[in-house]
Amino acid sequence: MRFTKDHEWVLVDGDIATVGITAYAAEQLGDVVFVETPEVGKSVAKGDNMAVVESVKAASDVYAPVSGEVIESNAELSSAPETVNAVPEAGGWFAKIKLSDPSEVDELMDKTAYDAFLEGL
Amino acid sequence: MTLNTVGRPTRMEEGVSAASEYLHPTLTGARGLLQDEPLIFELGGWEKTGVDLPDCDASQSDDLGDLVRTARIGLPGLSEPETLRHYVRLSQKNHAIDLALYPLGSCTMKHNPRLNEKMARLPGFADIHPLQPESTVQGALSLMDRLAHWLKTLTGMPAVALSPKAGAHGELCGLLAIRAAHEAKGDARKTVLVPMSAHGTNPATAAFVGYQVVEIAQTDDGRVDLADLEAKLHDDVAAVMVTNPNTCGLFERDIIEIARLTHAVGAYFYCDGANFNAIVGRVRPGDLGVDAMHINLHKTFSTPHGGGGPGAGPVVLSAALAPFAPTPWIVSTGEGGFDLIEEAKADAAQTFGRMCAFHGQMGMFVRAYAYMRSHGADGLRQVAHDAVLNANYIKASLKDLMTQPFPDGPCMHEALFDDAWLDGTGVTTLDFAKAMIDEGFHPMTMYFPLVVHGAMLIEPTETESRAELDRFITAVRALATAAKAGDAERFKAAPFHAPLRRLDETQAARKPRLRWTPQAA
């Protein structure tokens, strides 16, 4: 699993990247009450607004950590947004993206680097 | 026992203890004047009516055919005292500016002067209808013209649209004028730049008007990052939206440069005037290069936040945007009278249309104008002065106990604290806010602006006296001391003394119950 400074995670399987927000992000947001996941078929570039997550405290944009085409979004989140708090780095995934440039993944932080990044916050 | 002349005891018998088991619950569940109040539908009274209507002519109902109602429509039938008591009881469950200081940052909860109310009830303002002939409402039009004059003078801007009915509605008006101005040049642009600390309505408005929103980074001292702004400005940017003073309570010192950079790429500069109360009479936004700014009459000019009717968010416009202003607007006939320009022709040919059916919120216009005239130009300068002074008094009085994200230098009209000082106490910003309810104050704005962790934004406004500020500071200092002393229990379950205790905000957001349905008999 790879991570961004904006607290998104990416898990790559072949050329498909599953994307979500990290446990740290979910905890900082507090109870999530609404998630707007991207439409299937949408092309996203790295850094684009990809989704919106709204908690009792705040509404935040979720940025695409990698570029590509959205091939699946997590329909469960519309009826059960609390999944993001319960299992942020597993069942609380937001979207699956077919990578257009797999080398982008290498630029992201690994677990050790992300943990060190969190320490510094 | 002490008795008065008719033999009635005049004080508590000696030896009687004020035993706590009788404090709560009482036999009825009420706590003195604090009574449980059902919804008006739960009060029922389906079988009766509070008004005396003549009997209905049954033959008329033939005309309705099968549309005739056969069942009750289910409206509660309450008498006047029952209705009045219902609403008075409900009003007692809420905090109000008439009860105590209401330090909700960014909202400017100032006193609503009673003189405003008296003026708003004058029949010439209160008992008129928007469809009346203009010749019969010349006094009302004159007041609107004078209000427009004051708003234009105070902001140094040549035009004003009075009709928008709230701050966000004003933002929409400003951005629609900006879009119309670009389109008139055949230059449809796609992007609006908004700083990270903006009110949520700014990006929402830009998105509503069809623009892509791009965020501008913030400097370490809480202001717009000029380098980032410059990097993101290009010829597809339609507007830059900046709040000044911003939501961190700080004056954007580079505002003139922001305006210059914005204009250099052909974009317009929208200023969110939500915090105009901090600079009214001292800074004219028109001098800073602003093209459009809404003014929340319920903030800067003391009209009620709700309760007295809807709000008003007039928008002042620069010469570049003025031709696109929404109709209607008022012009002088040159003979002491006034006309409403309603149609898109002649001088109004380029108007983008209307913001609402009529001319705006008359009751708010009267209140705002009454506030302006009772203060005068010098008084309005002092409004800004006192608002800033009061906020800095709070900032200085709490800084030894609470941490601030931007401690250096004075703030403007509101003082911003973060939650670093609560680290390790087990108390969160939310808990602290709830405990303030127990102490008789409305909580400050919390978790906003989003750029500050666990933000607590305190805006006292200019209408609080030194004594009331001290009362507030004493309460906050006592709570902060308790939190640091490890008294987390006081906070985790607070409020203890509110009509309802800690609410489940998550469930309220996820599964709101917005509709009452009758219980099956």
Backbone φ and ψ for B396, nearest 5 degrees, come out as: -70, -30
Query: Which residues in chain A have their CB less than 8 angstroms from residue B450's CB?
Result: 58, 60
Contacts (Cβ under 8 Å, ≥6 apart) of B518 = B41, B74
* Residue B361 burial by Cβ neighbours in a 10 Å radius (0-12, 13-18, 19+): buried
Question: How close is the nearest chain A Cα to the Cα of B214, in Å?
Answer: 10
Q: Is the peptide bond before B245 cis (omega within 30 degrees of 0)?
A: yes
Taking Cα atoms as reference points, which of B441, B364, B448 lies closest to residue B405? Answer: B448
At residue B163 the predicted structure's pLDDT band, cuts being 50, 70 and 90, is very high
Q: Tokens 């400050």 map to which residue? A: B444
A10 SS3 class: strand
B101 near B394, Cβ under 8 Å? no
Interchain contact B207–A (C-beta under 8 A):
no
B312 near B361, Cβ under 8 Å? yes
**Hey, are the CB atoms on A82 and B450 less than 8 Å from each other?**
no
Contacts (Cβ under 8 Å, ≥6 apart) of B387 = B277, B278, B412, B413, B460, B461, B462
**Hey, are the CB atoms on A58 and B450 less than 8 Å from each other?**
yes
At residue B59 the predicted structure's pLDDT band, cuts being 50, 70 and 90, is low
CA B315, CA B325: separation in Å to the nearest integer?
Answer: 9
* Residue A42 burial by Cβ neighbours in a 10 Å radius (0-12, 13-18, 19+): middle
CA B474, CA B62: separation in Å to the nearest integer?
Answer: 70
Query: Which residues in chain A have their CB less than 8 angstroms from residue B509's CB?
Result: 31, 33-34, 56
Interior angle at CA B25, CA B24 and CA B27, nearest 5? 130
Query: Which residues in chain A have their CB less than 8 angstroms from residue B505's CB?
Result: 31, 56
Which residues in chain A show pLDDT less than 70?
none
Q: Which fold is adopted by the domain B377-510?
A: Aspartate Aminotransferase, domain 1 (3.90.1150)
Mean pLDDT calculated for residue range B369-382 = 97
Interchain contact B511–A (C-beta under 8 A):
no
Mean pLDDT calculated for residue range B273-294 = 97
Mean pLDDT calculated for residue range B508-516 = 87
Q: What is the four-CA torsion angle of B482, B484, B489, B492, rounded to 10 degrees?
A: 110
The side-by-side arrangement of strands in the sheet containing A16-21 is A2-3, A8-13, A16-21, A95-99, A68-73, A43-44
pLDDT digits (tens, 9 = 90+) for B399-413: 999 999 999 999 999
Contacts (Cβ under 8 Å, ≥6 apart) of B361 = B165, B309, B310, B311, B312
Residue B25 has pLDDT above 80, yes or no: no
ipTM above 0.85, yes or no: no
The total of other beta-carbon atoms located within 10 Å of residue B200's CB is 15
Output B515 or B241, whichever has higher pLDDT: B241
Structure tokens that stand for B323 in this block: 């031709």
The total of other beta-carbon atoms located within 10 Å of residue B212's CB is 15
Res B505: pLDDT:
84
Residue B417 has pLDDT above 70, yes or no: yes
Backbone φ and ψ for A51, nearest 5 degrees, come out as: -155, 170
CA B211, CA B175: separation in Å to the nearest integer?
Answer: 10
Of B447, B450, B506, the CB nearest to A31: B506
Domains in chain A with CATH codes: 2-119 (2.40.50.100)
Q: Tokens 């929208």 map to which residue? A: B270
* Mutation target vs A (from B191, B506, B507; most A CBs, 10 A cutoff): B506
Q: To the nearest whole percent, how much of chain B has pLDDT over 90? A: 75
Interchain contact A111–B (C-beta under 8 A):
no
Res B23: pLDDT:
65
| Architecture in CATH for domain B115-371 | 3-Layer(aba) Sandwich (3.40)
Give the CA radius of gyration of chain B.
27
Q: Which residue of B has its CA nearest to A85?
A: B506
Q: How far is CA B517 from CA B39, B41, B513, B514, in A?
A: 11, 9, 10, 10
The total of other beta-carbon atoms located within 10 Å of residue B263's CB is 15
CA A9, CA A3: separation in Å to the nearest integer?
Answer: 4
Q: Which residues pair with A8 in a beta bridge?
A: A21
Query: Which residues in chain B have their CB less than 8 angstroms from residue A6's CB?
Result: none
Output B95 or B36, whichever has higher pLDDT: B95
Contacts (Cβ under 8 Å, ≥6 apart) of B275 = B106, B108, B243, B244, B245, B246, B247, B299, B412, B413, B414
Q: Is the peptide bond before B328 cis (omega within 30 degrees of 0)?
A: yes
Q: Any alpha helices (H) in B223-339, and if so which ranges?
A: 226-232, 255-264
Which segment of A8-17, B48-57, B437-446, B495-504 scores lowest on mean pLDDT?
B48-57
pLDDT digits (tens, 9 = 90+) for B70-114: 888 888 899 999 999 999 999 888 899 999 999 999 999 999 999
> Which is it for the CA torsion B27, B33, B36, B37, positive or negative?
positive
Structure tokens that stand for A23 in this block: 């446990």
Q: How much is the mean pLDDT over chain B?
A: 92
Taking Cα atoms as reference points, which of B294, B297, B198 lies closest to residue B246? Answer: B198
Question: Where are chain B's structural domains?
Answer: 115-371, 377-510
**Hey, are the CB atoms on B509 and A56 less than 8 Å from each other?**
yes
Res B309: pLDDT:
56
Query: Which residues in chain B have their CB less than 8 angstroms from residue A31's CB?
Result: 505-506, 509
B290 near B361, Cβ under 8 Å? no
A84 near A35, Cβ under 8 Å? yes
Which segment of A108-112, B381-385, B448-452 scores lowest on mean pLDDT?
B448-452
Query: Which residues in chain B have their CB less than 8 angstroms from residue A60's CB?
Result: 450
A49 near A8, Cβ under 8 Å? no
Q: How far is CA A57 from CA A29, A92, B34, in A?
A: 6, 19, 30
B182 near B188, Cβ under 8 Å? yes
pLDDT digits (tens, 9 = 90+) for B194-220: 998 899 899 999 999 999 999 999 999
Structure tokens that stand for B432 in this block: 């602290």
**What is the count of residue pairs from A and B with beta carbons less than 8 Å apart?**
18
What is the separation, in whole angstroms, between the first and last Cα of chain B? 53
A117 SS3 class: helix
Of A33, A58, A81, the CB nearest to B447: A58
Helix (H) or strand (E) holding A18: strand A16-21
Contacts (Cβ under 8 Å, ≥6 apart) of B388 = B278, B410, B411, B412, B413
CA A28, CA A113: separation in Å to the nearest integer?
Answer: 19
At residue B510 the predicted structure's pLDDT band, cuts being 50, 70 and 90, is confident
Residue type (1 letter), B87: Y
Mean pLDDT calculated for residue range B352-365 = 94
Q: What is the DSSP string of B258-270?
A: HHHHHHHTT-EEE
